[in-house]
């Protein structure tokens, strides 16, 4: 199955923080966290899911065919990890990510994005975590779905990305996963990014930070000597 590729990615990126959008019963959360904790002493996991807030309307909107996940089972999985790994911490957030996540700015070493399947929800989920180091999308559809409405195809098409090789097929539906990896970290905001301004990857700042006006320098040079700039108040 395509999900086996997650453990391979964890071996490569050795995360100390994981965000999963679409925790469901917590099965993949358990596997990802245990794999990561074999390589690190501390790990923080953040999971998002509708759980009991799912309705027939959200199932139709998000093309959800596997039914609602269990918050109780997810919590049990997290507590089970905590018993064996004292450096493990977690947060579980129940609700529609259009309300609980969109508009926020979360950063992690690894994000697995497998929540709602509508393009609108996936795009909003991605925007909330796009400063993370490695982002893995599920639900890249090769066939069997209208990709103008569902799946991550529209979201990743203009982004540098890697199609992971394993494909699962369910009748007419064929599904792959996509990986986006940001190799640089902004020294100002801490977000990860791939490209600096105008494509220069050597910049130590992300595009958002470099476009902000620089704060006034509290020091100036006078007669070759560095002195305090009296026009700038002390912090």
DSSP letter string over 98-131?
Answer: HHHTTT-----SEEEE-S--BHHHHHHHHHHHTT
Instruction: Report the mean per-residue pLDDT for the chain.
Output: 88
Q: How far apart are CA 231 and CA 228, in angstroms?
A: 9
pLDDT digits (tens, 9 = 90+) for 99-111: 999 999 999 999 9
129 part of a folded domain:
yes
pLDDT of residue 29: 98
* Torsion, Cα of 201, 202, 203, 208 (10° steps): 10
Give the domain extent around 64: 2-181
48 found inside a domain: yes
> In this predicted structure, what is the pLDDT of residue 64?
86
CATH code of the domain in which 48 resides: 3.40.50.150
Instruction: Encode burial over 77-113: b for 16+ CB neighbours within 10 A, e otherwise.
Output: bbeebeeebeebebebeeebbbebbbeeebbbbbbbb
Q: What is the pTM of this model?
A: 0.81
Counted domains in the chain: 1
Q: Indicate whether 146 belongs to any domain.
A: yes
- Supply 21's token pair: 């959008």
């Amino acid at each position: 199955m395509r999900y086996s590729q997650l453990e391979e990615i964890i071996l490569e990126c050795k995360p100390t923080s994981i965000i999963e959008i679409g925790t469901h019963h917590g099965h993949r959360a358990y596997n990802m966290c245990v794999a990561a904790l074999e390589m690190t002493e501390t790990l923080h996991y953040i999971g998002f899911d509708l759980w009991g807030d799912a309705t027939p309307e959200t199932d139709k909107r998000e093309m959800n065919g596997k039914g609602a996940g269990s918050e109780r089972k997810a919590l049990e999985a997290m507590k089970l990890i905590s018993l064996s790994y004292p450096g493990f911490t977690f947060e579980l957030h129940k609700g529609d990510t259009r309300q609980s996540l969109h508009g926020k700015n979360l950063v992690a070493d690894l994000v697995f994005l497998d929540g709602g399947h509508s393009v609108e929800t996936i795009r909003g989920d991605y925007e909330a975590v796009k400063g993370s180091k490695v982002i893995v999308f599920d639900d890249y559809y090769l066939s069997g779905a209208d990709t103008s409405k569902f799946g991550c195809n529209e979201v990743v098409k203009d982004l540098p990305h890697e199609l992971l090789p394993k494909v699962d097929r369910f009748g007419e539906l064929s599904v792959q996963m996509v990986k986006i990896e940001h190799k640089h970290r902004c020294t100002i905001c801490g977000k990860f990014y791939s490209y600096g301004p105008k494509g220069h990857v050597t910049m130590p700042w992300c595009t958002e930070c470099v476009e902000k006006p620089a704060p006034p320098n509290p020091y100036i040079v006078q007669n070759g000597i560095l002195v305090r700039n009296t026009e700038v108040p002390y912090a």
